[in-house]
Amino acid sequence: MHAVVRALFLSLILLLPVTASGPPVPVILDTDIGDDIDDALALALALQSPELDVRAVVTVLQHRQRRADLVWKILELYGRTDIPVGLGADQPLLTKPRTDSVRQAAALGPADRMPASKRHNGILLAIETCMNSPGKITWVAYGPLTNLAVTLKAEPRITRKVERFVLMNGVYFREGKVEYNTGRDPEAAQIVFNSGVPITAVGLDVTMKCRLSPEDMKKIENSNRPTVKFLRELIHIWQNGQPDALPILHDPLAVAVTFHPGFIRTVTGHVTVDTKGMTDLTYGRTIFQPDPSGTTQVATEVDARAFINFFLERLLRRPRPVVQIP
């Protein structure tokens, strides 16, 4: 009986507005799309969410042009090439750059290139988007935090124009673990967490609970929408011949809590990043100290099933019409 009641409750949640009435949240999306599959799924969720006004998408770290080509292809499929795309920082601040390729670019055809006339310098695009906005911008970063760190150093006034940073970054309650985005550029992460800007940090403590089930994957496999079919192709490339590998919605969760904070519970405090670790096991650790006066809210719990149902409902919809926002 409890299971039936819970299922009914969750189905009702999906029929209700997820935010109070009001204008969409203006956001910059900051992504290392093309590595794990969740970046592409996060972009799709953002484009399918009327609660968000996507002002710019910025890629980060190596092969940023191919990453931008992937972003552009998805924007084309959703009819959103009005959104500017920027090529962000090419290398982390101090750690060694990677040399491997962006495997999901294999889904792109010879003509799937972002036009040269549409390319922006990602750092300048982010600064201009924030500084020229009449209201504050929310910066949603679900890759290494190099772009944020460089922007904070290049234009310190940006802290007055950012409402908050929403990050898929860190692991806070598993001793000795280093999360990928933090580990790729620990110094950048430390700059961001020390910025004084309010932060919502969604880490592995909660995102690891958001794995799609085989039944969820069947819904994606059964869709004939061009948008979903392309995302499914990216998933197959990511699976690399292992069809039992199931995507974990790390980055889509960060996008969702930007406008639907009820999916998670958080605790407030301070985050310190270990930038002096002597081994890969400690370098890049995120150390959390609870403190009601802190500027960072760290996710401690997630209603994973409710979020996954919400994500799938949005993903499987037809692309939503573009609404011009004044």
- Give the residue numbers marked as catalytic: 250
3-state secondary structure 42-100: HHHHHHCCCCEEEEEEEECCCCHHHHHHHHHHHHHHCCCCCCCEEECCCCCCCCCCCCC
Structure tokens at 198: 């309010």
Contact 229, 223 (CB under 8 A): yes
Structure tokens at 153: 């150093």
Structure tokens at 5: 């009641």
Residues in contact with 123: Cβ distance below 8 Å, sequence separation at least 6, in sequence order: 86, 88, 89, 147, 150, 151, 154
d(CA 97, CA 105): 19
Structure tokens at 9: 């409750």
What is the torsion angle, in degrees rounded to the nearest 10, for the CA atoms of residue 68, residue 317, residue 206 and residue 42? 10
3-state secondary structure at position 195:
coil
- Of how many residues is the chain composed? 326
d(CA 189, CA 91): 14
CA proximity to 202, closest of 248, 159, 247, 265? 265
> Quick one: how many helices (H) and strands (E) in the chain?
12, 10
